[in-house]
Amino acid sequence: MLVPIHKLTEDIPCKQRLDDLHTYFKSQFETEPDFFIRVPGRVNIIGEHIDYCGYPVLPMALDQCILLAVKTNPSDHFLQLRNINPKFENYKCDLTSFNIDLPQSGTGPEWYKYFLCGVKGVFENITGEFPKIGMYVALSGNVPPASGLSSSSALVSSATLATAYAYNISLDKKNLASISAQCERYIGTQGGGMDQAIAYLAKKGCAKFIEFHPELQASSIQLPSNAFFVVANSLAEINKAATSDFNQRVVECRTACRILSKKLGFNNWREVFRFASLQSRIGCSLEELERLADKEFSKENYTRADVLKELDISDQDFNDNFLTPNTLHMDSFKLRQRALHVLQESLRVWNFKSTCEVNSNESSCLQKLSDFIGQSHSSLRHLYECSHPSLDYLVDISKEFGIGARLTGAGYYLLF
């Protein structure tokens, strides 16, 4: 949401935080902001680690959000960033020449690099040379960072929206979501677009069924009126850009998909790296694709040599064209487990959606939804191996009370 300062009314959401940010902005820059931006975090109800395979997901927006106060300054070309949380350092750069260089390992990228992703994403969508305009920006965020609730994408998406508005670029919400999804990859992770899509396309009072293939589409899903969703923090944090875990899973999925595509004799198997594309290319059902993966991937573990043999390519080709900078070391691939998770989880999303649509007010409905959520966690824990002992503990306690619970986001968080 974008609010010019003259429309800052009393009934606007987050009014107190906006007032505090307004005061902070003035104390930092000794001037008034031109506009405010609000972008929510999200909780994904079901459909985990499948967006980057092209399959639909079912998230909803949270109240927790990133707020920005922004003033443009046409008389210079500097970006100046301040964060109301003193833990995050001030930042200034020249918008005519900046780059997003990433740390080699260890801690994740500095917070302002997520903002730069959004700026870069918009700049890339402006054709030809254009004058750079300075921007003063103050940020206030209360999405718990590195916890699976999409604080990173709320931050990147807020930067995209702020930059597009500052530069008077007219883009619709779907375009903004797609640009934000693409440019967040400059932070080093190969995400799928769920977080940025819900950031822009969420509607109050419902979840969204978000499709990516063949193009971005969001439809509202009415959840049962007698259902409660609780988001609990396991307190285990992971910065997705600080380790290669996230990208390793993406690479395993892409590799599995390419191997199936090659086995099926598709000449362009290199380009068919998302299961959703493979499925429409074959023209089969999810169940049929699952049976194919089950049949073709019989090993628990594939070595690098196994993969090279299956694809009939050289080590150099594999490194250059199929791996990411932080997955070059990979020499073991759990193709079977990752493929089965993706295809079964995708089926659960469709079943969850149709259960909500068909009998949303029957008591049996809640039990069914709860079961899907429980199965999703079990799959993420055992097949996708992205859970955490603290999370499993919370899920196990919930089970004792007959409540379906699962992690949400890339890992390390909980929902029921």
Among Mg ion, ligand ADP, ligand NG1, none, what does residue 194 contact (CB within 5–8 Å per kind)? ligand NG1
Burial 187-205 (b: 16+ CB within 10 A, else e): bbbbbbbbbbbbbbbbeee
Among Mg ion, ligand NG1, ligand ADP, none, what does residue 379 contact (CB within 5–8 Å per kind)? none
What count of residues does the chain have?
Answer: 416
Among Mg ion, ligand NG1, ligand ADP, none, what does residue 273 contact (CB within 5–8 Å per kind)? none
Examine residue 410 and tell whether it contacts ligand NG1 (CB under 6 A): yes
Contact residue for ligand ADP among 64, 72, 80, 147 (CB under 6 A):
147
CA-CA-CA-CA torsion sign (109, 112, 118, 119) = negative
**Contact yes or no for 390/234 (Cβ under 8 A):** yes
Among ligand ADP, ligand NG1, Mg ion, none, what does residue 111 contact (CB within 5–8 Å per kind)? ligand ADP
CB nearer ligand NG1, residue 48 or residue 310? 48
Number of residues engaging ligand ADP in binding (CB under 6 A): 22
Instruction: Report the C-alpha gap between 156 and 122 in whole angstroms.
Output: 11
CB nearer ligand NG1, residue 221 or residue 241? 241
The dihedrals phi and psi of 114, each to the nearest 5 degrees, come to -65, -40
Binding to ligand ADP by CB under 6 A, coded x per residue (else -) over 62-101, reads: ---------------------x-x--x-------------
- The CB-of-47 to Mg ion minimum distance in angstroms stands at 16
CB nearer ligand NG1, residue 155 or residue 164? 155
**Contact yes or no for 103/143 (Cβ under 8 A):** no
CB nearer ligand NG1, residue 152 or residue 248? 152
Contact residue for ligand ADP among 44, 125, 150, 355 (CB under 6 A):
150
Among Mg ion, ligand ADP, ligand NG1, none, what does residue 141 contact (CB within 5–8 Å per kind)? ligand ADP
Instruction: Report the C-alpha gap between 78 and 206 in whole angstroms.
Output: 40
Question: Could you give the residue ranges of the DSSP H alpha helices within 5-59?
Answer: 15-29
Q: Per CB under 6 A, which of residues 150..189 are in contact with ligand NG1? A: 150, 152-153, 184, 189
- The CB-of-20 to ligand ADP minimum distance in angstroms stands at 14
Instruction: Report the C-alpha gap between 150 and 194 in whole angstroms.
Output: 9
DSSP readout, 145-202? Answer: TTSSS-HHHHHHHHHHHHHHHHTT----HHHHHHHHHHHHGGGT----SHHHHHHHH-
Alpha carbon distances (Å) from 208 to 111, 178, 211, 219, 415: 28, 16, 9, 5, 16
Return the residue nearest ligand NG1 (CB atom).
191
CB nearer ligand NG1, residue 33 or residue 374? 374
Among Mg ion, ligand ADP, ligand NG1, none, what does residue 83 contact (CB within 5–8 Å per kind)? ligand ADP
Is residue 19 among the annotated active site residues?
no
**Contact yes or no for 199/216 (Cβ under 8 A):** no
Instruction: Report the C-alpha gap between 205 and 227 in whole angstroms.
Output: 13
The footprint of Mg ion (CB under 5 A) covers 152
- The CB-of-394 to ligand ADP minimum distance in angstroms stands at 17
CB nearer ligand NG1, residue 108 or residue 192? 192
CB nearer Mg ion, residue 152 or residue 255? 152
Examine residue 148 and tell whether it contacts ligand NG1 (CB under 6 A): yes
CA-CA-CA-CA torsion sign (300, 342, 385, 155) = positive
Among ligand ADP, ligand NG1, Mg ion, none, what does residue 48 contact (CB within 5–8 Å per kind)? ligand NG1
- End-to-end CA distance of the chain: give it in Å, rounded: 28
Instruction: Give the residue carrying structure tokens 């302002």.
Output: 112
**Contact yes or no for 35/3 (Cβ under 8 A):** yes
Q: Per CB under 6 A, which of residues 192..211 are in contact with ligand NG1? A: 192, 194-195
Local structure of residue 90 (DSSP, 8 states)? P
Residues that bind ligand NG1 (CB under 6 A): 48-49, 51-52, 148, 150, 152-153, 184, 189, 191-192, 194-195, 240, 409-410
Residues that bind ligand ADP (CB under 6 A): 83, 85, 88, 108, 111, 114, 139, 141, 143, 145-153, 155, 239-240, 409
Catalytic residues, by residue number, are 195
